Each structure stands twice: as structure tokens, then as C-alpha cells.
């Protein structure tokens, strides 16, 4: 028993032909695209560098040792 597809095959082929015929870039168009593809990775990188730097500082100054 097979289920019918969510979208008809003709519509998928039409969309596929349209997007494959475009020669300009289709990414980073809206401001939310910029947030998800630029701001989040930059924030992740900055926070990880900060935490690594803080850990190196604490280790070199002996902060947080048990005895």
C-alpha cells in the first residue's frame, strides 16, 4: 500500500527546472537568512574563543585548583 505524495510530481519538476535555470545566487536574501547563516556561527565562535581563553588564563594563574 503506497501513500500519495504531498506535492504532485509535475509541480516538483516545474520548481526544479525554475531553480536550476537561475544563474544568480539564491542565498542570503533576507535579514533572517543573514541571522541564521552569519550571526549564529560568529556568536558560537566568539563564545568558544572566550571560554577557551578564560580557561587558559585560569590554568596559568592556578585559579580553581582543588588543593
Domain boundaries, the chain: 27-62
pLDDT of residue 1: 63
Buried b (16+ CB within 10 A) or exposed e, 12-51: eeeeeeeeeeeeeeeeeeeeeeeeeeeeeeeeeeeeeeee
pLDDT of residue 21: 87
pLDDT tens column, 4-53: 778 888 999 998 998 888 877 666 667 777 788 888 999 999 999 999 99
Q: Is the pLDDT of residue 63 over 70?
A: yes
pLDDT of residue 65: 81
pTM of the model: 0.50
Amino acid at each position: 500500500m503506497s501513500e500519495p505524495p504531498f506535492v504532485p510530481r509535475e509541480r516538483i519538476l516545474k520548481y526544479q527546472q525554475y531553480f536550476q535555470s537561475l544563474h544568480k545566487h539564491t542565498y542570503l536574501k533576507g535579514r533572517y537568512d543573514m541571522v541564521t547563516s552569519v550571526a549564529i556561527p560568529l556568536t558560537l565562535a566568539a563564545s568558544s574563543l572566550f571560554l577557551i581563553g578564560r580557561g587558559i588564563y585560569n590554568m596559568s594563574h592556578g585559579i580553581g585548583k582543588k588543593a
